[in-house]
Structure 1
């Protein structure tokens, strides 16, 4: 697999956008998936687009991955990545409760823009939660939230151990290839109970 920054106007075969609060591990997920490495220190992303060639059903496919900033000051810039997306991966950190609580705001942002592409809910930093024996977000709580926001799947990941990383991106690829329908338009907003 070879990672390269997008620098032309041609559209990838499949486009995935990663959303979530700052420092939840979106960029680390991308590096882990594409380069099989873990960087401990990654500077905050403004917005980056990458392409990687993946072999899907014995055919080379270009996967476009858009890494977005979680900061409010980049709201307008982040939203430029949304058009043409085949799937959204909404990330939260298993060791940062506020990032879990902000998942609904990410879903609401997509709905405000009338974007109904499928969502995959991804929990990051599983290795840290497990190492700390933390009582932060558990698997069943993540599954309930995924159901509430009508996510296609809930996956717990670790960029450090690579657990679940390939599964998250493979799910996004299969959404496109299998023609998963867009999420039904919802009138009400997402709220955590």
Structure 2
């Protein structure tokens, strides 16, 4: 049977096939709604693209402060994505045009260890990013992808205390 013969008829109101609704909210509304999905979360994967420096900065400026505010006791893993594009000529040309470079593995480790000032607090204080570890992956090539999900599962069952990643930590920094 072809798929179009299974599609609901638009002329028959009694035909109630599956429907999908898409709700679009202004950014400020979405910022208020997003934390409603956080309860019962065991681990967060905070991702940034290694070929998009703005996404790297958003980790420190937006995502970590939001998670520290809404879910301070839930661990998170920092993930650098799109590592296959680090050597892609078109991507490198685009970044060069914008006077930027791909982010290195060392940038990710540095961010996982970073100390930051809390921007959303009446009392300004400093805190560590506190990522359980930093990993990199490519969905396209699947390099490092299994390690990301393995680490998420390990973090759920054996969360580390909030401490910075160390260079000698096998699960922490040696997997890319």
How would you bin the TM-score normalised by the shorter chain?
Answer: 0.5 to 0.7
Root-mean-square deviation (CA, aligned residues, Å) is: 2.2
What is the aligned counterpart of 2:66 among 91, 109, 118? 109
Does 1:118 find its partner at 2:101? no
How far apart are 1:125 and its partner, in Å?
0.8
Aligned structure 1 segments of 4 or more residues deviating by more than 3 angstroms: 181-184
Does 1:85 find its partner at 2:41? yes
Q: Secondary structure at the match of 1:80?
A: helix
Structure 1, gaps ≥5 residues long: 1-44, 47-70, 185-193
Asked which structure has the greater RCO (Cα within 8 Å, sep 6+), the reply is 1
Q: Secondary structure at the match of 2:54?
A: helix
Aligned match of 1:162:
142
Aligned match of 1:13:
none
TM-score between both structures, scaled by the size of structure 2? 0.58
Question: Distance in 1 between the 2:28 and 2:86 partners?
Answer: 26
What is the aligned counterpart of 1:171 among 144, 147, 151? 151
How far apart are 1:123 and its partner, in Å?
0.8
> Given that residues 90 and 119 in structure 1 are in contact (C-alpha distance below 8 angstroms), is that contact kept between their aligned partners in structure 2?
yes
How far apart are 1:183 and its partner, in Å?
3.5
Q: Secondary structure at the match of 2:68?
A: helix
Higher helix proportion: 2
Query: Bigger radius of gyration, 1 or 2?
Result: 2
